Amino acid sequence: MTSIIDFDVPFDGHTLKADHYVGRDSNRILYLHGAGASTRRGHHMLRSALQQCGLGSICFDAIGHGDTGGTLSESSIASRTRQAQAVLAARAMPEPLAIVGSSMGAYNAIRLTEHHKVDALVLIVPGVYTPSAYEVPFGPGFSTVIRRERSWADSDAWHILSRFEGRLLVLHAEHDATIPLEISDRLFGAATRAQSRQLCIVQGAEHNRLWALLKETPADFDAALDMVVEVVNGGRQ
């Protein structure tokens, strides 16, 4: 019988709505959703599959998303990192952490490696950002910064990942109209000190349709899931 525990975390006048997919063998995965209309519930497919493999995960709706509510203008990329840290502290999650980050959440995952012991990073359709956008509240000002041509090119993500010594998996969607392949390539290439690193381009996938596409072919879904499990478990299946 699977177990999902809902919980709340106070943060800066808000109440972050979160849940814990309780794992049989391990409960050290922090899962970070993306921007736009993304919520923690949109990642049930992968989290449920990980839970069936014994791997529990914790995920929360960032401010302006899902059950947490509020407005995006009350948040920023930097605030999302701090929100994640509040959730980690509230649940006293054991380190080293395994962090799964999707889209914008991938950049938050990378940033968290500067402050926490992390030995496994799974970056799904990863977005990265210029440091000048980090503290800017979401809204017109933020959009102006990131819509500058190749604004992500001077991201600090490359430098941060160059110091990462854990296991890295980057999953890129072949037909991603949001994230250019160059970003995933550079993330993979930057992690020169990683214990292991892998870049997987999911054929036919789009930015918001990667796992759902894989699910249509169970063997492909299972193969991608095995890659995630191997990174989280350090090669121990």
Taking only the tens of pLDDT, the chain with its 237 residues reads: 569 999 999 999 999 999 999 999 999 999 999 999 999 999 999 999 999 999 999 999 999 999 999 999 999 999 999 999 999 999 999 999 999 999 999 999 999 999 999 999 999 999 999 999 999 999 999 999 999 999 999 999 999 999 999 999 999 999 999 999 999 999 999 999 999 999 999 999 999 999 999 999 999 999 999 999 999 998 554
Q: What is the pLDDT of residues 18-36, one digit of tens each?
A: 999 999 999 999 999 999 9
Q: Give the distance from CA 87 to its chain's centroid.
A: 14
90-101: pLDDT as tens digits: 999 999 999 999
Would you give the DSSP letter of residue 173?
E
Structure tokens at 166: 């854990």
Q: Where are the domains of the chain?
A: 4-233
Q: Which CATH architecture has domain 4-233?
A: 3-Layer(aba) Sandwich (3.40)
Q: Which of 37, 36, 2 is nearest to 20 (CA)?
A: 2
